[in-house]
Amino acid sequence: MRARADRFGLFVPGSSPIHRAPLWAKYLAVLAIGAAALVWRIAPVAVGLTALTVLLYALAGRHVLSRWAWPLKHLWWMFAILGVHQWWLAGGGLAGLWHAVGIVGSMLAALQAARLLLLSTEQADLLDGLARALAPLRRLGVDADAVTLALHVMLRSIPALAGAAGDVTDAATARGLRRNPLVLAGPVVVSAVGYAHRTADALAARGLMDRDDDAA
Amino acid sequence: METMPAPSIVFESAGVSVPDEDAQRRGLPDAARDLLHPLTLTLTERRIAVIGANGSGKSTLLKLINGLARPSTGRVLVDGACTVRDTGRVRRTVGFLFTDPLAQLVMPVVVEDVELSLRARVRDRAERRAHALEVLARLGIERLAERSVYDLSGGERQLAALATVLAAGQRILVADEPTTLLDLRNDALLRRTLDGLEQQVVYATHDLAFAAEADRALVVEDGRIVFDGAASDAVDAYRHLALEGV
C-alpha cells in the first residue's frame, strides 16, 4: 500500500489560537460539530458546518488551511459512492440531491472537525489526553489504553485506505480501464482487509494488544 | 559484543497446519495441510538465518517464536515461557521486525512511534520522550525523530521500525526478510546495524550473502527443515536445492 496518502491527520506545528487551545476545548468543538451534523442532517446545516470548518482551518494558519481539501482529493470515491447511494435511497431527483448533500456534507463537516483536532495537536498529547479522560471508566472494566489505541488505529486507517484506493486507481488506469468507483470498490476492500491483518499482526507483535493480566 | 546471555528458543514437536479446503470440498471434512511439519530444535546462537523459497514456511516458523502463529501440535518455549500460555511474557522477550516497516509503524511521527512502545513501561511523557530519543540516537537516526514516517526512505523507515522494537527492550529480535524492500545502500546499513545489536537475532532472508553471515542457518523446504548447520553449508545446500532442475 503506498505511503502517499499521508496528509490526512499529520500534526502541523504552529502557534495559532487553534494550536494553543486546550485539548478539552478542541474535543468539545469536535463533539459539538459532530453532534450538530448528526442531529440536523439537512443541506443548509451541512453546508454551514462545512463552511465553519474552513474558517477554523484558516484560523489555524495557512499550512493547515492548505490541507482542508485533502479528503475531497483522496477520498472522492467514497463520497461519490455514499452520495449516489443516498440520492438513490431518497428517490432521486432534486429532493434526492438535497438529501445526499445533507448526509454527505454532514459527514464531511464532522470529518474535517476531527482532522483539525489531529492537525493541530501532537498525537502523543491526544493519546495521553484521551487515556486520562477515559481513566475513570477503568472501574467499569474499560481498558482506557486499549480504547485509545483502537481509536488511533482507526484514524490511521483512513489515509491508508485512501492510499489503497490510489493504488487500485493507478493499476486500473495502467491497464486502460476506466476509473469507475463501483468497480474499484472491490479491490480496495480486499486491500483494506489485508491491511487490517497486517496492522493487527504488528500491534500484537509489539505487545500493544497484551493486557496487564496477560503480561503479569 | 555479546553482553547478554543467549536466550533459548525451543521447538518441541511444534507444527502448524490449516484446514485443507480443496480436500474438504472433495468430502474429507477433517483434511488439513501442513504449513510447517512438527519440528524439534533449540536455537541459542547469536545470529540465526532462515532461508528457503517463497511459501516454504519461513515466516510461519518465525511467527511461532513471537506467538503470532500458534502451533497446531507441540509447543514453542522462549526462555521457558510457552508462546501460547505466556504470550505477554514471550512478547516482552521477543521483538518482531516485519518486511514492510509501514505495517509496523502506527504513529505518524518517528519519535511518537518509539514512544508508543514505551507507553506501558514509562507513564511520564517527558521521560518517555527522552528515552525514545536515546533509542534513536543509539541507532544513529536521531535526526529522523520529528520526521513523518511517510516521508522517510525505505532504509530509514526500516531503521525507525527497528527502533520501535528495540525501545521495548526485548532480548530476541525476529526479523522477517528485513532487507527485501531495501536498495543496496540501505540494505548494507540495516545489516550493519543488526550485526551491531547485542540481541539474539533470528532472521529470514533471500539474500544468501546476508544468510552466510549467521552463526547457524536453517533451510526450509515445503514446511520442513531440510538442513540445519553452519551458514555457509546451508547456503550451498539451499543453492543446490533451489537450482536443481532449472
Enumerate the residues of chain A whose CB falls inside 8 A of the CB of residue B117: 206
pLDDT of residue B4: 57
CB contact under 8 A, B96 and A205: yes
What is the dihedral angle through the alpha carbons of A34, A38, A43, A44, rounded to the nearest 10 degrees? -60
Cell reading at B189: 546499513
Residue A145 to residue B88: CA distance in whole angstroms: 16
Q: Are B53 and B221 in contact (CB under 8 A)?
A: yes
Residue B235 to residue B49: CA distance in whole angstroms: 10
Mutation site for A-interface testing, chosen from B111, B119, B133, B135 by largest number of A Cβ within 10 Å: B119
Enumerate the residues of chain B whose CB falls inside 8 A of the CB of residue A216: 88
Enumerate the residues of chain A whose CB falls inside 8 A of the CB of residue B107: 123-124, 152
CB contact under 8 A, A206 and B150: no
Please report which confidence band the pLDDT of residue B2 belongs to, taking 50, 70 and 90 as the band edges.
very low
Q: Which residues contact B239 (CB under 8 A, 6 or more apart)?
A: B208
* Domain ranges for chain B: 9-243
Nearest beta carbon to residue A10 from set B66, B68, B148: B148
pLDDT of residue B95: 92
Q: Are A145 and A90 in contact (CB under 8 A)?
A: no
* DSSP state, residue A66: T
The whole-angstrom distance between A90's CA and the closest CA on chain B is 39
Question: Which residues of chain A have a Cβ shorter than 8 Å from any chain B Cβ?
Answer: 1, 3-4, 6, 9-11, 122-124, 127-128, 145, 152-153, 156, 195, 198-199, 201-208, 210-211, 214-216
Angle at Cα B34 formed by Cα B28 and Cα B38, nearest 5°? 130
Q: Are B75 and B83 in contact (CB under 8 A)?
A: yes
Phi-psi region at B222: left, alpha or beta (left = phi > 0; alpha = psi -120 to 50): left
Enumerate the residues of chain B whose CB falls inside 8 A of the CB of residue A120: none
Residue A73 to residue B84: CA distance in whole angstroms: 45
The amino acid that residue A117 corresponds to is L
pLDDT score of B183 more than 70: yes
Residue A82 to residue A71: CA distance in whole angstroms: 14
Q: Are B214 and B62 in contact (CB under 8 A)?
A: no
Question: What does each of the 216 residues of chain A score in pLDDT, given as a tens digit?
Answer: 554 445 555 778 889 999 999 998 998 999 999 999 888 888 999 999 999 999 999 999 999 999 999 888 878 888 889 899 999 988 888 889 999 999 999 999 999 999 999 899 887 788 778 888 888 888 888 877 778 788 778 777 777 777 777 778 777 777 777 666 677 778 888 888 888 888 888 888 887 766 544 443
pTM above 0.90, yes or no: no
The CATH number of B9-243, from 3.40.50.300, 3.90.550.10, 3.40.30.10, 3.40.640.10, is 3.40.50.300
Neighbours of B125 (CB within 10 A): 14
Burial class (CB in 10 A: 0-12, 13-18, 19+), B215: middle
pLDDT tens sequence across B187-198: 888 899 899 999
CB contact under 8 A, A156 and B108: yes
The whole-angstrom distance between A144's CA and the closest CA on chain B is 12
Show the DSSP H helices in chain B as ranges: 21-25, 58-66, 87-93, 101-104, 110-118, 125-138, 154-167, 184-196, 208-212, 231-243
Residue A10 to residue A108: CA distance in whole angstroms: 18
pLDDT tens sequence across B142-182: 999 988 888 888 888 999 999 999 998 889 999 999 988 88
Q: How far is CA A205 from CA B7, B21, B245, in A?
A: 18, 28, 39
CB contact under 8 A, B108 and A204: no
Average pLDDT (B208-221) is 96
CB contact under 8 A, B109 and A214: no
ipTM of the complex: 0.76
The whole-angstrom distance between A177's CA and the closest CA on chain B is 29
- Least-confidence region, from A18-22, B62-66, B118-122: B118-122
